[in-house]
A and B are shown apart, each in its own frame.
Chain A
Amino acid sequence: MGEATREIERLIELMARLPGLGPRSARRAVLHLVKKRAVQLAPLAEAMQKVAATARECVRCGNIGTTELCDICADPARATGEICVVEDVADLWAMERAGVFRGRYHVLGGVLSALDAMGPDELGLPRLAQRIDEEGVTEVILALGATVDGQTTAHYIADLLEGRASVTTLGQGVPVGGELDFLDDGTIGAALRARRAV
C-alpha cells in the first residue's frame, strides 16, 4: 500500500468513527470528497482546522462557540432574566432552531445518573446557582428530557433553587403532528394531566 493510499485509509478510519457513519458510508463519503477535492475537501479541511483551533466551551453557559463568551451570553438583548437549563449543547441548538426562547441558557452536560456516576458537582449545579445571583435571574426554565433521569435532575434543581428564582419546566404531551394512536401510555397520561380549557 502506497503512502497516499494509507492516508486515504486513515481518513476513512477516522470518518467511520463519526456518529451516523460506519466503514462503508465513511468510504463513500471520502470517495466523494476526494473526487471533489477542490470544491468540497479543501474547504472542509480548512473549516475543520479553524474550528479545531478556535472551538471552546462558553465559560458562562457551557455552549460551544469560538470565544470565551458564546454569542448568546455576549448579546445584551438576551439578558431577559430567564435561563433555560438544557442537558446538552444539542438541546440548546434545538431550542435555538425553534426560535421561541430569547433568554440565555445553561448547559448541564448530562443529567443525574447513578450508572454514569453523574452527581450535582459533575453537572456544574453550583455554577448555575451562582449565575442566578450574578445575572439577576427571575425564571429558570428546566428543558430537560421527560426521562426518569431528566426529571430526577429537574426536581433536584428545583429544590436547589427554591426561593431564589421561579422554576418552571416544559410541558409534556401530544407533539405537533402527533396522533394519539401512536403515543406511548406515559405521554398520553402526561397530556391528560396537563389538559387545559379551550
Chain B
Amino acid sequence: MLEWRDRGFVLAVRRHGENAAIVELFTPAHGRHAGVVRGGSSRRLRPILQPGAELEATWRARLDEHIGAFTVEPLRSRADLMEDRRALAALNAVTSLLSFCLPEREPHPALHARSEALLDALAAPDWLVAYLRWELHLLDETGFGLDLTRCAVTGGREDLAYVSPRSGRAVSREGAAEWADRLLPLPPCLLGQGPATEAEIAAGLRLTGHFLQTRLAPALGERPLPPARDRLVALLAQRR
C-alpha cells in the first residue's frame, strides 16, 4: 500500500458517484494531486472541500498509477473571501489556473508557497500586484518565464518599458524606438518601482495574459484558458 501525508489546498472538486468526490489538491511535496474523498459530497465534508481551503491530507493507493483515496482534515477555510467579489474572483483564477497549467504529481514547492501566500493576501485590500507577480511566477515555473532583468536590444538595465510579445524579454525605451507600438507595455510595478496604478494593473494583466494565452495554453493542447481568469480581468476593469 502506498501512502503519504502532506498539507495542501483544494484546487477543484468534482462529484463522483452519489457521495464521493474527486478532489484535486496542490501540495508542496506532491504537486497537483487528485484522489477520491469518500463522502466528499456529504453535508459534513462539502464545506471543507471548497477551492482554496487548506487541508491535511493522507493519500493511499494500492498502485502508483491508481487515483487513490484521500482522507482529509480541515486546517483553514477561506470562506471569509466569499463576501468580497474581487478576492473571490482572484481565488477562482488562482485555483483554476493551477489546475489548468500544472502537470499531475510534479512538485512545485516554490509555486505552492507563492500561491499560498497570495491566497492569504487576498483577505487584505492590496493584493493586485501580488496577483500579477504570481502570474509571472506561474509562467516561470511552467517554462515560459519572462526576462525582465535587462533590455533585449541594448543590454541595459535602465528605463525598461516594454516586453517583446515574441521573446518575452524586456525592452528599454531607447531599444524600442519606432517599434514601441508593436511591444507590450511593461508596468513599472512589475519591476518593483512604486505603487501600482489601476492602468498599470490592467497593463500587467494584458502582459501576463498574452503569454498565458499564446505560449502556455497552446503548449497544453490548445485548450482555452480557464474562464475564471477572464472573469477576474473583466471584474477589475469594471470596477475602475
Contact = CB atoms under 8 A, between A and B. Distances in A.
Interface in A28-75: none
A114 B24 CA distance: 14
Interface of B: 12, 14, 18, 46-48, 50-52, 74, 76-80, 82-83, 85, 88-89, 91-92, 96, 99, 226-228, 231, 235, 238
A20 B41 CA distance: 13
Contacts of A147: 46, 50
A151 B91 CA distance: 12
The dominant DSSP class at the A interface is helix
Contact of A159 (B47, B85, B88, B227): B85
A151 B77 contact: no
Interface stretch (A4-12, A85-93, A183-191): A183-191
Contact of A20 (B14, B18, B50): B18
Given A185-B79, A190-B82, 20 more contacts: A19-B18, A20-B18, A114-B96, A114-B99, A114-B227, A114-B228, A115-B14, A119-B227, A146-B79, A148-B82, A151-B83, A152-B88, A152-B231, A158-B85, A159-B238, A184-B77, A186-B78, A186-B80, A186-B82, A187-B47
Contacts of A184: 47-48, 74, 77, 79
Given A114-B96, A148-B51, A185-B77, A156 B12 contact: no
A155 interface: yes
B89 A152 contact: yes
Given A115-B12, A115-B14, A189 B227 contact: no
B116 to A, nearest CB: 17
B226 A114 contact: yes
Given A148-B92, A156-B231, A159-B85, A186 B47 contact: yes
A148 B89 contact: no
Interface string A90-114: 0000000000000000000000101
Contact of B88 (A115, A119, A151, A185): A151
Given A147-B50, A152-B89, A155-B85, A186 B77 contact: yes
Contact of A148 (B18, B48, B91, B231): B91
Q: Which of A20, A119, A185, A187 has the most CB of B within 10 A?
A: A185
Of all A-B residue pairs in the complex, the 8 with the closest CB atoms, nearest first, are A186-B79, A155-B85, A186-B77, A151-B82, A114-B96, A114-B226, A184-B47, A185-B77
B83 A146 contact: no
A26 to B, nearest CB: 13
A189 B79 contact: yes
A57 B106 CA distance: 46
Contacts of B231: 112, 152, 156
A114 B46 CA distance: 18
A193 interface: yes
15 contacts: A19-B18, A112-B231, A114-B92, A115-B14, A115-B99, A147-B50, A148-B51, A148-B92, A151-B82, A151-B88, A184-B48, A184-B74, A184-B79, A185-B77, A190-B82
Contacts of B92: 114, 148, 152
Nearest to A194: B83
Contacts of A146: 47, 79, 82
A92 to B, nearest CB: 19
A115 B23 CA distance: 12
Contacts of A19: 18
Contacts of B50: 147-148, 186
A114 B227 CA distance: 6
B227 A193 contact: no
A152 to B, nearest CB: 6
Contacts of B46: 147
Interface in A145-198: 146-148, 151-152, 155-156, 158-159, 184-187, 189-190, 193
Contacts of A112: 231
A186 B50 CA distance: 11
A115 B226 CA distance: 9
B224 to A, nearest CB: 10
